[in-house]
Every structure is written in structure tokens, then in C-alpha cells.
Structure 1
């Protein structure tokens, strides 16, 4: 996270006055449970110690002005003109949240405009949800300055609505739940059907384990085809199996699925059903055996995404295989797929060896050098100052 003084001075430089306060929202890593969220399934993400920060001040008119450290542009729009059709580009994340708050019950006719300046150290395109970090930082900021009093579960839905209707990415509630509900050295066990959540201690620190993120630098865009195709396959599978969503099936239904579905749809469904089970198994293993026993579940998750869901790429596979060989307990791609990052659960002492092995393997394969860094499970979105 950039230092707070530089963010406050960034606000001052753009808007010629001081911010009222700073709020932040973390990115997230999904430890396990990929593409299960929009199938009403189980996920297990945690907030990370990389964050988006929003400096914000209310105005005495109806104008919304947003700026950021990553562009010279200042986007301006009146609250009265705010809609999914009137915003686009990077400003759709904060402005989409303002619109979505109105859809969830805020009286936008009764609130003032604002100036907002955004800075973030969550890598873009790495599968760590830089978008949810901005959305959740903005949501907690506006909830406070507009005196809305929404609880965090409502703000989760606000962020998702902004992402779906304004940004145009058909995502579930995983990212915003992690960003808003996260706690230090813990992950959020989330039921995407009931929206019930439970914070589960990870115990990485006590076990001497680190989570290494390997950003392959292969950029992905959720709004493009692969993600939507996989979602459509899951909906087809559920329909043909006679259920409302794949959450209504378990691994015990796989033999019937094989007889009912075409080969590709069967593989897509098999990933979702086995991945839901892996999330449940991960929570159980953490409680019974501790984090050192998670490796096989992470490995199996990656194999399922690579072979059944077909969302991995060569760079992700190489990162996962190399990290394991060099001493990681388990590794998997994380996020929507088709690029982004892998994660490797690694004993603290072996982090340098794993990083060197992955760097050497990427060089030998002629791939762009990956960006690698350790993340820690951190607290969720809130006010900084």
C-alpha cells in the first residue's frame, strides 16, 4: 500500500483541497474453490495485504469526480446522470458502486456528490481482484460519508452489482466477500447459495508457512469469452441434470452425469462438483490436521482446472509444477483462469529456492519473467484515517 501522505497529496494535487479521510479495500487470493461461486457453491478466499485506497471528500453539489494515481484523467459525472450506460473504463468501478448503492436502497436524490482519488498496489490482471479492492474501498467510504448504515453483507451485493451491471463482468460474490469480510491469518468460508459465511483461522504463521503468489504476467479479461463460456456450460449441465444449479449435485451424481451429458459438459460439471467437495475438505483438514496437510487438495484443484475446466495456460502449469518440485507443499492456479496467478503454499525457509526455481524455469521456457511475492491474510475493507 502506498504511504498515506502520498495519497493525500495526490488528492490535493487533483482537486485543490484536502480529503475528508482515507478508506481501503484489500485484494484477495482464493485459496480453493474456483468457478464454484456462480454455481451457488462453496469458496474459501482470504483478503491479502495489498490494498486499494480511496481518498474522498464530499462536495456541496451533485457532481462526482474520480481520479487515480494510474492515469491523468479526471472523470466527472452528475449523480443525476449516473447509470450503467453513462460510465465506462476504470471509473466504472468506483462510479458503479455509487450507482449500485442506489439500487440497494440508498436515496441518491438526498446525498451530496464527492471527489475521490484512488491508489492501489493490487496488481491488475493478476487474478487478485484489483477490481473488488477498489469497489469495496469505495463502498465502505460512501456508506460512511452518506450515512447509509449498510452492513457488510449488503455492501458485498453492492460490489457484485456494480461488477455485473456496470463493469459487465458476470462474477459471483467471492471477491467482494473476501475483501469486506476478511480477517488477519484467516480465510472466509462462504456458501454462495445462502450467503452464510464463517471466518476460519488458517494458522499459516504458527505453522511456518507462506503463500507465494506467482503472477505469470499473462493478462486475462473476465468480460471476454472464456469465463462466459464456462458459465454457460455449467448452466447447461444443471439444466440437463434437472437441477436449479450445480450446487444441488454432489460427487455421488457424477456417474449419472456421465450418462446424461456430452463429454465436454460432463468434464465442466465434474470440476464444479469435485471442487465444492475440495472446499469442504479444506475447511475440515484445517480444523483437524492444520495447514500443513492442505497440499494434496491444492494440487488436485489445479489438475481439475487444467484438465476438466480447461482454464489453465502453459505459464500457470509451469509455475505450479516447478513450485511443487522445489518444495512447495501444494500449488494451484487461482482466479478466473486464462492467465493471472498461481499460488504455492510453501515453508518459509524454502521461499527463496521456489522463487529461483520458477524464475529459472520461465527463462528456460522463453516466458516473460513472472512477478513473485508473498501475501498474508489481512483484515477486510475499512477506514484508514
Structure 2
């Protein structure tokens, strides 16, 4: 591993996972699979509003060595948790019965069986380089790698979007986090060198070339090391406010409010006595959907540098309207922009986690240094900064 946390020898990594599986379970795995974390370029809190998002997969990934069982037993082990093998009876799996790491792969087994798929057990060993609590979808990577492995081993014939939907159901219903579909779709469907332009209503997608290096640019991830936990109610509260706003406006989801109609919609909500919180959430979601559309138009035109101000505008909306930022994220964004970045914003669910910074490649070292110094001056834990390299989605990596 490098200091950035990116695997520098993936073949060796996969071999280690397979060998640890053999040590734990007494025989080699039937295969090894990998699924990445993601960073979201633009479109935050829009996915559970049937809106648009644009994530890209990271080189960081969850790797799973897996074999089938026929005795209704699920055995789970993680190289990243100081815990032994967790053994579960898959027939007894119950939603929200476990709040630890094992709930994510166990939830996938539960979701597959609840959908009628004949999964009869598994031995799984997991290792991940996706930072936890950093807003980079470490949980989705665990879910998707488990879903893909079981799909392949049991010959279920599910498509990548279908696997993503089942993984989302695992997180929603089994783990208890009311996330949208973006994270799982990104982990399952992203391709190398591209951003994923996704319509979360019908799951239609387009792979958009995202070759920053060709234009002398770099996208940085700044992990503030402020851990977030989306299961603590704040994320659910924002979702509930969005749903309240949609009902009050008489639409299926906030995606159905055109950006040009936003002022009238806000006036209508105020007239109906809806709270300021509901109005702020509506304003953010409708405007962020519009920012995704602006970004895709800029990328299609080859105007990558012009995306920078859109990112910074998005951060202001997340900070002031949705109110999901934190002092460390705000400091990272402000420092990056004042140090010469083209644009920056928090990414992911917020309340901690990571920011992204779009910058000219020669400026990245100075920007990284300025952010680190600003954190030190403010008494914050130094952040970890690394490049976001658009990478491939979930796949089998070893037989």
C-alpha cells in the first residue's frame, strides 16, 4: 500500500486474501472478487429524490475470497476488524439485528434469499482499502463484492444494476440506512477512465470520458478523517424533509420540479406553512440536479476546467441549505479555492468524510500543503489527500 491507501500491487493483494481464506477455512476459495469505493463528482442527496448523479469508482476496493456452502451457514471474516470468524444461520437472519460490519455482507445474503434466489450459505473473507467513514462508500463496496461473488458462484444471472438494487435493499432494510442507489450503482457499474452519469429513477446510465490527465488536471480527495455515520438519524431527517416537500408540491419526487420553477415552488411551500428546513432541502436538491445537468454539458463540450465553479457552488448549497458540512470540510474547500484550485466541494453524505478538489496538476502539491497547514493551524487532525483516479467497477479478479 502507498501512503494514499491505493493498492500498489493488486495481484499480491488478491493472493494474500486467497491465502488468508485458506488459513481460516481450511481450503482455497472458489474465487476472488473486488468492488471499488466511489467518489461523487456532483449530485448529492439527489439519488433518493429520483434525480441525477455523477460518481466515479476509486482504485480503493473491497476484495472478497468466497466459496459456497450447502448447510445454511454463513461464515464471515474481515482482515480489517479485530474479530474472529462470525458464523450466522442464514435462515435466521433478521433485519437490523446486527449493527457491526458483518451486517453488510449478511444483509446481501438476506436480500438475495428474500428475492427468491437459492443461496444456501458461504464462507467469505474480506479485506478493504476503502477508508471507512470517509464518505467514499466503504459499505457499498462490501455489499457489491458480496453480491457479485454470490451471483457468479450460484449462477443467478443478475445484471449489474439488479445486483446494485439488491445491495441497496440490504443497506436500507437490513442495516437500516435509508441511502439512495448511487453508491451501489457506482461500485457495480463504473468503468475505467469514466464518470457514471446516472438517472436514479430508471437507472439509465452513460459512461462519460473523464480523462483529467489529458488536460493537465487532477481531482484530489481530501479525507478530513472526521468519521461520519449515516445511521445516526441526520441523513434520514434530510430524506424525510425532501419527501415532505415532494408531497406538498404534489410530485412523485423532487426530481420532477424543473429548475426554472424552483422560485415558484419555494413560494408555494412557504404559503403552505412548510418549515424552513423543508424549503432549504428542496432548494438544494432541485439546484443540485441542475448542477449535474450543467456538469454533463460541460464535460460533453470538453470544458473540464469550467466544472470547478460548479463544484464550489454545490458545496455552498450543501453547507448552507442542506447543512450537512462540518468545519473541517469547509476549511478544506475554502483553503483549496483560495490556494488556486479550480473548484472544490464536500462529497458523500457529509457530517464529516471527504472533500474533492479540482486543480491544475502543477498546483496540486501547493494546494495539498496549504490544506494540511490550515488543518494544523486550526487544531484539526491532519487530513489524508490522494488523487481520485477513475477506475473499474466490480469484477472477479481470481479463479
CA distance in 2, matches of 1:374, 1:27: 13
Q: 3-state SS of the aligned residue for 2:336? A: helix
Contact 2:266/2:283, CA 8 A, preserved across alignment: no
1:371 paired with 2:379, answer no
CA distance in 2, matches of 1:354, 1:105: 51
Q: Which residue of 1 aligns with 2:34?
A: 24
Q: CA deviation at 1:204?
A: 1.2
Contact 1:28/1:129, CA 8 A, preserved across alignment: yes
Q: Which residue of 2 aligns with 1:172?
A: 180
TM-score (norm 2): 0.93
Gaps of 5+ in 2: 1-6, 270-274
1:66 paired with 2:76, answer yes
Contact 2:96/2:175, CA 8 A, preserved across alignment: no
Q: CA deviation at 1:97?
A: 0.8
Q: Which residue of 2 aligns with 1:302?
A: 315
Q: Which residue of 2 aligns with 1:345?
A: 358
Q: 3-state SS of the aligned residue for 1:294? A: helix
Q: 3-state SS of the aligned residue for 1:384? A: strand
CA distance in 2, matches of 1:65, 1:297: 46
Contact 2:96/2:176, CA 8 A, preserved across alignment: no
Q: CA deviation at 1:260?
A: 2.4
CA distance in 1, matches of 2:79, 2:230: 23
Q: Which residue of 2 aligns with 1:231?
A: 239
CA distance in 1, matches of 2:268, 2:197: 31
Contact 1:46/1:186, CA 8 A, preserved across alignment: yes
CA distance in 1, matches of 2:359, 2:172: 35
Q: CA deviation at 1:196?
A: 0.9
1:259 paired with 2:272, answer no
Contact 1:185/1:205, CA 8 A, preserved across alignment: no
Q: Which residue of 1 aligns with 2:214?
A: 206
1:127 paired with 2:127, answer no
Q: CA deviation at 1:60?
A: 4.4
Q: Which residue of 1 aligns with 2:114?
A: 103
Q: 1:89 aligns with which of 97, 100, 105?
A: 100
Cα offsets for 1:38-88 (capped at 9, x unmatched): 011111111111000001122343211000102232111123223325544
CA distance in 2, matches of 1:267, 1:250: 16
Q: 3-state SS of the aligned residue for 1:28? A: strand
CA distance in 2, matches of 1:153, 1:84: 23
Q: 3-state SS of the aligned residue for 1:90? A: coil
CA distance in 2, matches of 1:167, 1:302: 28
Gaps of 5+ in 1: none
Cα offsets for 1:306-337 (capped at 9, x unmatched): 11111111100100011112222110000001
Q: CA deviation at 1:203?
A: 2.1
Corresponding pairs, count? 382
TM-score (norm 1): 0.96
